[in-house]
Amino acid sequence: MGLLIKGGEIVTAETRLRGDIFIENETVSAIGQGLAVPKGTEVIDAAGKLIFPGFIDPHVHIHLPFMATFAKDTHQAASKAALVGGTTTFIEMCCPSRKDDALEGYHVWKQKAEGNSACDYAFHMSVTRYDATTEAQLREIVKDGTTSFKIFLSYKNFFGVDDEEMFHTLKLAAELGVITTAHCENAELVGQLQQQLLSEGKTGAEWHEPSRPESVEAEGTTRFATFLEQTGAAGYVVHLSCAPALCAAVDAKVRGVNLHIESVLPHFLLDKTYAERAGVEGMKNIMSPPLRDKRNQPVLWNALKTGIIDTVGTDHCPFDKEQKLLGAKAFTQIPNGIPGIEDRVNLMYTYGVKRGGLDIHRFVDALSTRAAKLFGLYPRKGTIAVGSDADLVVYDTNYRGAISAATQQGINDYNGFEGFAIEGRPSVVTVRGKVQVRDGVFVGEQGRGRMIRREPQL
């Protein structure tokens, strides 16, 4: 049976038009006005609503062994949360540690997701060690349809790679035509600064940011870009947080380095004073790179508006309050991460499009289309077009509400954006033509999500 979404305002990264969308066999089969449809078609009235392509979160952690614990999430909960918030595809960071076998890790991550996700998904494969076995394993993983890598320049001895390993990873990525995403902070400097601060008795969450200052992120960004330049690989800086790192990335871009920039929801809306709050309230807001001085926020918003920042992800990475308290005696032990998969679309719509002058097409581009293009999902995902997957968000711009852990889908015991007002939310969300959400409630099929296998891009 077909599905007709009738009379909405269809908004993509390029166009805006009022019309109907007809869906058959999981894909969009017609777009037009007054579409005639077969008998038995289910009709959703979208009059007065916007219709966006399903949003894509390119930076998500769900299964994550990290900092003596595990991120507090499951694919079931995270995917429902994603969908209720309008995200129909996420790309999860597959992160075996340096001591794990990469290929075994890849299979663990795939098994965790398979049959459990309510929305579609893909992986970035982290390269956390480069030794004699790595090349063959990465070739196999790319053949399996995971065509983006992740490296960490930070988290020494756990996820972090050294320069030699980064070089070999990028050489292989260039040969295979895959893009490499990177967490850019100088691991050595972070380690030295952490020890210095702790030795001075500076143990609270408020010292996390000073242990990873802006210049340390800028150095990592510059070094990553230089290695891209010398290897010819394509790169993508994840969770960029501050003006100096942005300048380093732009400097590389204007030299012709094939580099793309992601920032993430917390860096647009939260600042370092959140992490300076007393006790666990501060710990809740610990992530890396850290929440920064507020003066960085207008810089990030401007870079987003002009397209210098390509994408907005979440870096969704929940830890509950008990886990955060692992760092009660030393900020270096606070699990790093803030949840956000459920709230990115509504918050960026509210504080960007409604209140901040962010063009609505750029909003769609940054939260969906550009990630689809960079990571080999386009045009299957990231747009509304005949033949594309019918991942659609019917968006109610008249909705008024506030973010609250009490009403969220996510299983964490707090929400990093508690109390933030929202002006809009999805009223219907479809995944390949099946209605999965109605007005903030998951009404769909839990295991509907599929791993989307991708081709090399370059």
Pick from ligand URP, Zn ion, none: which does 360 bind, CB < 5 to 8 A by kind?
A: none
Q: Is 336 in the site for ligand URP (CB under 6 A)?
A: yes
Q: Shortest Cβ distance from residue 90 to Zn ion (Å)?
A: 12
How wide is the angle at C-alpha 396 spanned by C-alphas 391 and 399, nearest 5°? Answer: 140
Range 165-204, binding Zn ion (CB under 5 A)? 183
Q: Would you say 63 or 239 has its CB closer to ligand URP?
A: 239
Q: Shortest Cβ distance from residue 44 to Zn ion (Å)?
A: 35
Q: Which of 271, 315, 343, 391 binds Zn ion (CB under 5 A)?
A: 315
Round to whole Å and give the CA distance between 267 and 45. 36
User: 206: helix, coil or strand?
Assistant: helix
Bridge partners for 22 per DSSP: 4, 30
Pick from ligand URP, Zn ion, none: which does 134 bind, CB < 5 to 8 A by kind?
A: none
CA-nearest of 418, 401, 420 to 410 is 418
Alpha-carbon distances, residue 261 vs 19, 94, 219, 317 (angstroms): 34, 20, 15, 20
Q: Which of 6, 49, 61, 80 binds ligand URP (CB under 6 A)?
A: 61
Q: Which of 54, 337, 339, 424 binds ligand URP (CB under 6 A)?
A: 337
Range 303-332, binding ligand URP (CB under 6 A)? 315, 317
> Torsion-angle region of residue 40: left (phi > 0), alpha (psi -120 to 50) or beta?
left
CA-nearest of 367, 390, 366, 394 to 379 is 390
Q: Is 412 in the site for ligand URP (CB under 6 A)?
A: no
Q: Which of 211, 263, 288, 368 binds ligand URP (CB under 6 A)?
A: 288
Q: At what angle do helices 134-143 and 163-176 cross, to 10 degrees?
A: 40
Bridge partners for 311 per DSSP: 262
Q: Shortest Cβ distance from residue 69 to Zn ion (Å)?
A: 15
Q: Would you say 22 or 331 has its CB closer to ligand URP?
A: 331
CA-nearest of 5, 10, 14, 9 to 369 is 14
Q: Would you say 335 or 449 has its CB closer to ligand URP?
A: 335
Residue of this chain nearest to ligand URP (CB atom) = 336
Give how many residues touch Zn ion by CB under 5 A.
Answer: 2
Tokens 């959703």 sit at which residue? Answer: 44
CB 182 within 8 A of CB 224: yes
In this structure, the chain runs to a length of 458
CB 341 within 8 A of CB 82: yes
Pick from Zn ion, ligand URP, none: which does 336 bind, CB < 5 to 8 A by kind?
A: ligand URP
The token duo for 447 is 């295991």
Cβ-count burial 267-297 (b if 16+ within 10 Å, e if not): bbbbbbebbbeeebebbbbbbbbbbbeeebb
Range 235-254, binding ligand URP (CB under 6 A)? 239
Range 8-47, binding ligand URP (CB under 6 A)? none
Q: Is 217 in the site for ligand URP (CB under 6 A)?
A: no
Q: Which of 63, 75, 183, 324 binds ligand URP (CB under 6 A)?
A: 183
Q: Shortest Cβ distance from residue 59 to ligand URP (Å)?
A: 7
Give how many residues touch ligand URP by CB under 6 A.
Answer: 9
Query: What is the β-pairing status of strands 16-24 and 27-32?
Result: antiparallel
Pick from Zn ion, ligand URP, none: which does 337 bind, CB < 5 to 8 A by kind?
A: ligand URP
The token duo for 313 is 């992800």
Q: Would you say 11 or 338 has its CB closer to ligand URP?
A: 338
Q: Shortest Cβ distance from residue 263 to Zn ion (Å)?
A: 12
Q: Would you say 315 or 342 has its CB closer to ligand URP?
A: 315
Q: Would you say 49 or 183 has its CB closer to ligand URP?
A: 183
CB 55 within 8 A of CB 415: no
Q: Would you say 222 or 336 has its CB closer to ligand URP?
A: 336
Q: Would you say 239 or 272 has its CB closer to ligand URP?
A: 239
Q: Would you say 63 or 183 has its CB closer to Zn ion?
A: 183
Q: Which of 178, 218, 261, 287 binds ligand URP (CB under 6 A)?
A: 287
Q: Which helix (H) or strand (E) holds 164?
A: helix 163-176
Q: Which stretch binds Zn ion (CB under 5 A): 66-74, 122-130, 163-171, 310-318?
A: 310-318
Q: What is the DSSP string of 80-135?
A: HHHHHTTEEEEEEEE---TTS-HHHHHHHHHHHHTTT-SSEEEEEEE----STTHH
List residues near Zn ion by CB under 5 A.
183, 315
List residues near ligand URP by CB under 6 A.
61, 183, 239, 287-288, 315, 317, 336-337
